[in-house]
Amino acid sequence: MKIGFIGLGNMGAPMAANLVAAGHEVTGYDVAGVTVDGVAQAASGPEAAKGAEVVITMLPNGQILRNVADELVPAMEAGATLVDCSTVDVDSARAVAAQAEKAGLGFVDAPVSGGVGGATAGTLTFMCGGSADAFAKAEPLFDIMGQKAVHCGEAGAGQAAKICNNMILGVTMIATCEAFALADKLGLDRQKMFDVVSTSSGYSWTMNAYCPAPGVGPQSPADNDYKPGFAAELMLKDLGLSQQAAEAVDADTPMGQAALALYRQFVEDEGGTGRDFSAMLPRFEKRGRG
C-alpha cells in the first residue's frame, strides 16, 4: 500500500519503519527534517500525501493536527483515509473528521498506548474512532504497528478512550506513590509492601507492572533513575486533555483534577520535566504533610 506519514518523531519514526519493514511504500514528512531508513522523504505534508491510500499523522497536539489537516485534506486522493495516531483533544479529532468527510475522505482517530518501546516493537494498542469502513481500511496497518486495535465508536471515540485510560493511569500512579511514601514513614519494607499490594485489592498496573519503587517488582523506569518511559510532561498533557473534555461535557472528575494539579506542579515547579511519570515517588518521599 502507498502510505503518507506525517510526524516522524519518537513515536512516528519507528511506526513508519515497521510499515516499511512489512513491505509498504511509505513517504514521510517531518517539519524538523527527520529522516527514517526506507521512508522516502517528501518536501511537505501535501507531497507525502500525494497518491497515498492512507495518510498517517503522529503529531504533538490538536492545534498542529488542525493546521496540518488544512493542508493535507485538499491534497489527498478522493477515497483515501486519514488516520491520526496523535493524542489530541476530542474536539480537534471530530473537527478534522468532519473536514475529511466533507472532502470525501475516510478518517480514523487512533491514539496509541505502549510508548516508544511499543512503537519500536510493533506492539502498540490503538484506540479508534470513525466509520466502520475507515477502520477496516486502516486495520491491517494497525496489525503491523501494534498488537491490538479496538474500534471504540464514531470519530472522537478513540481519543475519549485514550484520555479516560490515562486519567486512570495518572490517578493510580499518584495513589501508588503516596502509599509507598506513607509505608516508608510507617517503617514498612518496600518489598513487603509490593508483595502484599500486588496480590491484594490495591493492585494496579502501576504497582504490578510499572512499580515506581526502584528494585521492587518487574524492571521499570524506576530501576533506570526514572528515565522515561512515559515522561511526566506527557502525562501532564493527557491529564489536561481529560480535564478539558470533562469541562466540555460537565463531568465531575475530582481525582483527575487533583492528578492534573500535582503533575503540573511536578513538571513546572519541581524539575519533573524529562523524568518518568513514576518519579512522583521520590517527589512524595521528600515531603511531609505541609
Q: Sign of the C-alpha dihedral, residues 14, 19, 20, 26? A: negative
Q: How far is the CB of 185 from ligand NAD (least distance, A)?
A: 32
Q: How far is the CB of 278 from ligand NAD (least distance, A)?
A: 13
Cell of 75: 491534497
112 or 239: CB nearest ligand NAD: 112
93 or 183: CB nearest ligand NAD: 93
Q: What are phi and psi of 39, to 5 degrees?
A: -100, 120
Instruction: Name the residue whose CB lies closest to ligand NAD.
Output: 9
Q: How far is the CB of 48 from ligand NAD (least distance, A)?
A: 9
Q: What are phi and psi of 47, to 5 degrees?
A: -65, -40
Question: How far, in Å, CA of 207 to CA of 219, rounded?
Answer: 12
User: Pick from 168, 166, 87: which is nearest to 129 by CA?
Assistant: 87
Q: How far is the CB of 183 from ligand NAD (least distance, A)?
A: 29
Cβ(205)–Cβ(220) below 8 Å: no
Q: How far is the CB of 114 from ligand NAD (least distance, A)?
A: 7
9 or 51: CB nearest ligand NAD: 9
Element (H, E) at 244: helix 232-249
86 or 243: CB nearest ligand NAD: 86
User: Pick from 276, 78, 242, 46: which is nearest to 159 by CA?
Assistant: 242
106 or 229: CB nearest ligand NAD: 229
The strand pairing partners of 129, in sequence order, are 109, 153
Q: Is residue 162 among the annotated active site residues?
A: yes
| Residues making contact with ligand NAD (CB under 6 A) | 6-12, 29-32, 34, 45, 58-60, 64, 68, 86-87, 112, 115-116, 230, 234, 237
Q: How far is the CB of 69 from ligand NAD (least distance, A)?
A: 10
With b meaning 16 or more CB within 10 Å and e meaning fewer, what string describes 234-262?
A: bbbbbbebbbebbeeeeeebeebbebbeb
Cβ(174)–Cβ(280) below 8 Å: yes
Question: How far, in Å, CA of 47 to CA of 158, rounded?
Answer: 27
> Which of 2, 102, 162, 237 is an active site residue?
162
171 or 183: CB nearest ligand NAD: 171
Question: How far, in Å, CA of 161 to CA of 62, rounded?
Answer: 16
* Residues marked as catalytic: 162
